[in-house]
Amino acid sequence: MRGHAFVWETQGDGTLDTPAIKIELTTGYHDGKGNQQPTSLTDKEAMKLWDDILDSFRLRPLGQPASAAGRTHSPSGAP
């Protein structure tokens, strides 16, 4: 049966500084009886979709942690 399978994975630790990420994309599907059905995408269309998905990810700029960004006072309550 015709289909596509893509996987992109990082080797991170699972922390905010070094996240562990796994992204998977498969085309085709199984019908209600569990029978695999073919994809409607061509190889070129599937590759374009995969590339567009990966290209949409961006690194965030380094700076203040998100939890500290909205803080107007110190954790002890002093201004």
**pLDDT tens profile 24-33:** 998 988 888 9
Q: How far apart are CA 6 and CA 46, in angstroms?
A: 9
Based on its alpha-carbon atoms, the radius of gyration of the chain, rounded to whole angstroms, reads 21
pTM above 0.85, yes or no: no
Domain count, the chain: 1
Quick check: is 75 in a domain? no
52: domain range?
1-9+34-58
Average pLDDT, whole number, for the chain?
81
Quick check: is 27 in a domain? no
Residue showing tokens 């992204």? 23
User: 22 pLDDT exceeds 70?
Assistant: yes
**Residue 28 falls in which region: left (phi positive, over 0), alpha (psi -120 to 50) or beta:** left
User: 49 pLDDT exceeds 90?
Assistant: yes
With cut-offs at 50, 70 and 90, classify the pLDDT of residue 60: confident
